[in-house]
Amino acid sequence: MGYDYSQIGKRIKRVRENRGLTQEVLAEKLDVSNAYISKIERGKTAINLDRLSQLCVVLEESPEYILSGTNIQGKDYLRHEILELLEDCSPDKINLIMQVIKPIVDFKENATSDGYDT
């Protein structure tokens, strides 16, 4: 299984910013250069497992989330993955996705209220 390093980089950047850290501060905590952090966040450089482990400790985030966008420890982990997939979609794609999922969501609500468990 290959990893999408641009998505990994986006997640790292998002978590870093949510923690209120600059690239410089993160680089200092990891004892690496600012340029290295920038390359990782842009998906231009792959991150090795040792560095990923250090990064997760500093950012207080799970490796599962950084690598795949999911955190199986949370009960809403798929919601975050879906939202992340939607980030780069054009308005036309989002409209198409809405047309696909709305009947599914409506069916689940109706089926549940009719006594069906789906």
Tell me the residue range of the domain where 97 lies. Answer: 88-113
Tell me how crowded residue 78 is: count the other CB atoms within 10 A of its CB. 12
Q: In terms of Cα–Cα distance, which of 97, 70, 92, 89 is closest to 105?
A: 97
Q: Looking at per-residue confidence, does 114 or 99 come out higher? A: 99
Within a domain: 73: no
Going by pLDDT thresholds of 50, 70 and 90, the confidence category of residue 2 is confident
Same domain, 27 and 64: yes
Within a domain: 77: no
**pTM score, whole prediction:** 0.62
Residue indicated by tokens 């952090």: 37
Same domain, 11 and 59: yes
**pLDDT digits over 51-110, tens only?**
999 999 999 998 988 988 776 655 666 777 788 788 888 999 999 999 999 888 888 655
Number of domains in the chain: 2
pLDDT value of position 118 = 46
Within a domain: 118: no
Same domain, 29 and 61: yes
Q: In sequence order, what are the residues at sequence separation of 6 or more whose Cβ sits closer than 8 angstroms to the Cβ of residue 66?
A: 8, 11, 12, 15, 52, 55, 56, 59
Same domain, 16 and 54: yes
Within a domain: 92: yes
**pLDDT digits over 15-47, tens only?**
999 999 999 999 999 999 999 999 999 999 999
